[in-house]
Structures are given as C-alpha cells and as structure tokens.
Amino acid sequence: MQEDYGYTFLLLSRVLRSVGIIYITLSSSLYLSAIGVKPEIIGIIFLGAIGFSSGLNLALGMIGDRTGYKKVLIFVEILASIASILLALSINQILIFAALIIGGVGGAAGGIRGVFSPGLTALVASNWNDEKERIRRLSFLMSASSLSGIGGSILLSLRSYISNSVDGYRMLYFISFVLLLASAISLLFCKEVTRPKKTSKVMKKSSMKFISKVVVSNSITGFGLGIAIPLLPLWYNLAFHANSFEIGLIFTISYLTTAIGSLLSNKIRFDPLKVASITRILNGVFLIAMALSPWLPLAAGLYIARGLNAGVGAPNRSAVNVRGVSAEDFGTASSFQGLATRLSQMSSAISGYLLDVSYSLPLEIGGLLQTVGGYLYMKLLATSTNKKVDS
C-alpha cells in the first residue's frame, strides 16, 4: 500500500494554483496591450519573466535537494501571490512589469501550466519510487490542474461582463491573489519523505550525463515554445479579431481536453519514452497546422486537439526525465531540465517582432522546432533510459 503523504492537499494546491496562474498567464498579454504596451515590448517583458524564473528555479532545485521540496513549493506560491496583488492594485507600468517578471507568468498558456512549479516533479519522484505510481500521481495532478485551469479561462471570458475596461482585469487579479495564497496554505499540510544526504556539490556524474540529453531536446523545444505560445492569446486577437470571451472559451475547452489526455496517460501501456516523444512531435505539427488555418474555428479546433495530445504526453515525459537520476539529485536535475526549457523560451522576446512581420510566422517556426525537439528526445534517450541508478 502506497503512503499518501498528504497527496489530497497537493492536489488541492494545484487546483487553486491553476485557476489563479492560468488567468494571469492568459490575460497578461491582452492586459498589457490594453494599457498601451506594444507587442515587441510585451515579448521583452516575457523574456524578463522567463529569465528570472529560470535562475530562481535552478537555485530552488538545488536548495530543495538539501532542505526539502515542500518549502520550495510554498515559497514559489508566496512569490506568485505577491505578483498577483501588485497586478490587482498597481496602475504604474513599471510595477506591473515587475509583477509579471517576479511571478514568472510569461510561460506557456497550456492546460498543465498550473501544475508545475519548482520542486513538484522532484517531490513526486521522491515520495513514490515506482515509475508507474509516479505516472499515476502525475497524471491525476495534471488532470486536476487542467480541469481547474478552466476556471482561469472562464475568468478571462467573464472579464468583459464584469468591466470592459482595464479595471476588469485588475479585479480578477485580486481573485488570483486569494487563490494563490490559499494554494500556499494547502501545501503546509503535505508531507515529504526524509531526503537522502547530498553527497555532491551539485549533482552526481551519472545524473548529469543523463539529464544532459534531456537538456538538448528541451532547449530546442523550449525555443520553439517561446516563439509560439506566450503570445498565443494575442495571436488569436490579431489574426482573427477574437475577443476575450472567444479566447477564453478556446482555452477553456483546451484545458478540458488536456485533462482528459492526462487521465488517459495513466491507462496507456506503451513505453513511456515513445509516448513522450511522439506526443511532443505532434504538438509541433498542430502548431504548424494552426498557422496555416484561414478560419478561427479551425485554428481553435487544432489547439483543442493539441491540448488532448499534450495531456497524454506530459506525465510520461515527467517520469522518463528522472529515470536516470539519483534520488539525491531529483530537485537539481528537474531544475536543470526546466532551466533549459525556460532559458530557451526567452525566444519570446522575438515573438512580438515576428507577429509584426507575419501572424503565422511564430507558430510555423515554433512548431517546426518542437517537432525536431520531440524527435531528438527519442533518439537521445533511447539508449540510456533503461539503465538503473541508485535510489
């Protein structure tokens, strides 16, 4: 019988986090545009957000290996709470920019956006040793996150009914603050197994050798995601003149399909590496198809299908990413893997410029890079994921 370790409270935290962080992530580019910020400047702000969170995540992963991952998770929620209350109360553009940067909300607006923060994968890997159990726990976390992320997209859809001015965004940022603070409180009731003593300054050589392969794939994929995804709500607005209600509805349905995909991932009996690689390739194909779409309903349908595919792949990928990592290095290894993705997502800085050139260009380039990254993920890890490491 597997120990629960307060898993229900971890689920509750991800549910609360998803509603708050998804609303902020979806609305941020629209909000900045509404207060007069140009697309190229929005891209640079997202670059700052990704850069800040990249450095923070690396530091917190290393700290988590030594002090525990629960503390790291709580710290991140408190930081996001501070960012959201600044967005709710401030009309100063510098403070708004700073809030978006320290909150790390410049990443992808996908359905599992709310589940991840530094220490989450490491905590699951540490508490549950069996890979099937890890996938099961992660699939439920990601499914719950995607379903509750619908709340964030609904908030965006309701914004115009609450107030069609920028005040509507700010009122809902306060709700995000309350939810993120409640998420931090929920984490207090989670438990964590005793950490193995750290024997290396950074990471064991065996762990480093394994994650270096993940980093290569994640870097290419992340560069593509940074170009295509952060400004996706704005892309729908510019390319198809979609309003906030329509954009929110698209993401609402996408989060539902992502949740379904995450639940299905727990039932798939194929090799997790193959599932992780093929779904990543398909994620890129969907982006390219969206770029070529002449109609909003088709572009929306493709993104919704992409959500289902992403939901299937994510839990398997998270489990595969720690196959060759020593238990004492879970936090640092997860942070290095995430660091590669986040740093490469700083390509969001050029996303705004590409939008000015052609609305389809960010999705075409981003989709191609994600397809290549998925192929390399399979090739690089195929020879090493079956090797056992000490746990």
Domain-terminating residue out of 151, 166, 192 = 192
Q: How many helices (H) and strands (E) in the chain?
A: 15, 0
Structure tokens at 63: 């700290």
In a domain? residue 234: yes
Weakest mean pLDDT among 151-165, 224-238, 295-309, 368-382: 151-165
Top pLDDT among 86 and 141 is at: 86
Do 33 and 162 lie in a common domain? yes
Q: Are 73 and 117 in contact (CB under 8 A)?
A: yes
pLDDT confidence band for 389 (50 / 70 / 90): very low
Residue 140 pLDDT greater than 70, yes or no = yes
Of 146, 174, 192, which marks where a domain is finished?
A: 192
Shared-domain flag, residues 10 and 35:
yes
109-123, 182-196, 209-223, 296-310: least confident range: 109-123
Q: Are 341 and 290 in contact (CB under 8 A)?
A: no
Same domain, 108 and 27: yes
Average pLDDT of the residues of the chain: 83
The answer to whether residue 45 sits within a structural domain is yes
For residue 391, pLDDT over 50 is answered with no
Q: What is the mean pLDDT of residues 148-169?
A: 82
Q: What is the pLDDT of residue 229?
A: 81
The confidence score (pLDDT) of residue 4 equals 78
Same domain, 241 and 181: no
Identify whether residues 9 and 119 lie together within a single domain. yes
Residue 98: predicted pLDDT? 92
Least confident piece of the model among 54-58, 260-264, 277-281, 361-365:
54-58
Given 136, 167, 192, the domain boundary residue is: 192
Q: What is the pLDDT of residue 128?
A: 82
The more confident residue out of 342 and 172 is 172
- 197 within some domain: no
Residue given tokens 């917190």 in the structure block = 60
Range of the domain at 249: 202-390
Residue 114 lies in a domain: yes
Q: Is the pLDDT of residue 43 over 80?
A: no
Share of the chain above pLDDT 90, in %: 25
Query: Percent of the chain at pLDDT above 70?
Result: 88
Predicted pLDDT of residue 280: 93
Whether residues 179 and 216 share a domain: the answer is no
Q: Tell whether 131 is covered by a domain.
A: yes
Report the domain count for the chain: 2
Does 116 have pLDDT greater than 70? no
CATH code of the domain in which 143 resides = 1.20.1250.20
- 293 within a domain of the structure (yes/no): yes
Residues 165 and 276 in one domain: no
What does the pLDDT read at residue 180? 94
pLDDT at position 321: 77
Instruction: Give 329-346 as a DSSP string.
Output: GHHHHHHHHHHHHHHHGG
- On whether residue 68 sits in a domain, the answer given is yes
Residue-level pLDDT at 232: 85
Asked if 187 and 285 sit in the same domain, the reply is no
CA-CA distance, 163 to 22, in Å (whole number)?
A: 19
Task: Evaluate whether residue 380 is within a structural domain.
Answer: yes
Which three-class secondary structure string do you get for 254-271?
HHHHHHHHHHHHCCCCCC
Question: What DSSP assignment string belongs to 14-54?
Answer: HHHHHHHHHHHHHHHHHHHHHTT--HHHHHHHHHHHHHHHH
Residues 135 and 176 in one domain: yes
Q: Which of 381, 300, 257, 345 is nearest to 54 (CA)?
A: 345
Give residue 298's pLDDT.
95
Q: Which of 71-75, 113-117, 132-136, 294-298 has the highest mean pLDDT?
A: 294-298
Both 66 and 85 in a single domain? yes
Burial of 94 (0-12, 13-18, 19+ CB in 10 A): exposed
Residues 112 and 144 in one domain: yes
Judge if 126 and 12 occupy the same domain. yes
